Amino acid sequence: MNKEITRQERADALGGMGCKRKRVEDARFTQGKGNYVDDIKLPGMLFGDFVRSPYAHARIKSINTDRAMALDGVVAVLTADDLRPLGLHWMPTLAGDKQMVLADGKVLFQGQEVAYVVAKDRYIAADAVELVDVEYEELPVVVDPFEALKSDTVLREDLVAEDGSLPDGAHGPRKHHNHIFTWEVGEKDATEQVVSDAAVVAEETMYYHRTHPCPLETCGCVASMDKVNGKLTLYGTFQAPHAIRTVVSLISGIEEHNIRVVSPDIGGGFGNKVGAYPGYVCSVVASIVTGVPVKWIEDRMENLMTTAFARDYWMKGKIAATPEGKITGLWCHVTADHGGFDACADPTKFPAGFMNICTGSYDIPTAYLAVDGVYTNKAPGGVSYRCSFRVTEAVYFIERMIEVLAIELNMDAAELRRINFIKKDQFPYQSALGWEYDSGDYHTAWDKALKAVDYEGLRAEQAQRVEDFKAGKTRKLMGIGLTHFTEIVGAGPVKNCDILGLGMFDSCEIRIHPTGSAIARLGTISQGQGHATTFAQILATEIGLPADNITIEEGDTDTAPYGLGTYGSRSTPVAGAATAMAGRKIRAKAQMIAAYLLEVHDDDVEFDVDRFVVKGAPEKFKTMKEIAFAAYNQAIPGIEPGLEAVSYYDPPNMTYPFGAYICVMDIDVDTGVTDIRRFYALDDCGTRINPMIIEGQVHGGLTEALAVALGQEIAYDDMGNVKTGTLMDFFLPTAWEVPNYETDHTVTPSPHHPIGAKGVGESPHVGGVPCFSNAVNDAFRAFGLRHTHMPHDHWRIWKTANELGLHG
Ligand code: CDP
Element (H, E) at 582: helix 577-598
Q: Residues 322, 340: contact at Cβ < 8 Å?
A: no
What average pLDDT values come out for the chain (808 residues) when binned by 10 residues? Answer: 81 97 95 96 98 98 98 98 95 94 98 98 97 98 98 97 94 97 98 98 98 97 96 96 92 94 96 94 96 97 97 98 98 98 92 97 98 98 91 98 98 98 98 98 98 98 98 98 97 90 94 98 95 97 98 97 92 95 98 98 97 96 98 94 97 96 98 97 98 97 98 98 97 94 98 96 97 98 97 98 95
ipTM above 0.90, yes or no: yes
User: Is 358 in contact with 332 (CB distance < 8 Å)?
Assistant: yes
**Structural contact between residues 487 and 391, judged by C-beta atoms closer than 8 angstroms:** yes
Cα–ligand 1 centroid distance for 508 (angstroms):
16
Peptide bond into 492 cis (omega under 30): yes
* Candidates 239, 527, 529, 537; catalytic one: 239
pLDDT for res 2: 55
Q: What angle do CA 180, 186, 187 make, to 5 degrees?
A: 115
| Mutation pick for ligand 1 pocket among 17, 389, 529, 765 (CB with most ligand atoms within 8 Å) | 529
**Cβ(340) – ligand 1 distance below 6 Å:** no
4 counts as catalytic? no
Ligand 1 lined by 439 (C-beta under 6 Å): no
- What is the rounded distance in angstroms from the CA atom of residue 608 to the CA atom of residue 587? 11
Residue minimizing CA distance to atom 11 of ligand 1: 529
- Quick check: CB of 563 below 6 Å from ligand 1? no
Determine the distance separating the centroid of ligand 1 and the alpha carbon of 277, expressed in angstroms.
27
Cβ–ligand 1 contact at 530 (below 6 Å): yes
Torsion of the alpha carbons at 537, 540, 545 and 550, rounded to the nearest 10 = -40
Distances (CA, A) of 90 to 84, 87, 247, 382: 8, 7, 13, 19
**pLDDT of the residue at 380:** 97
Type and span of the H or E element at 191: helix 188-197
β-strands 220-226, 231-236: how paired?
A: antiparallel
All structural domains of the chain, each given as residue ranges with its CATH number in brackets, are: 7-34+506-649 (3.30.365.10), 37-139+218-266+273-306 (3.90.1170.50), 309-491+654-803 (3.30.365.10)
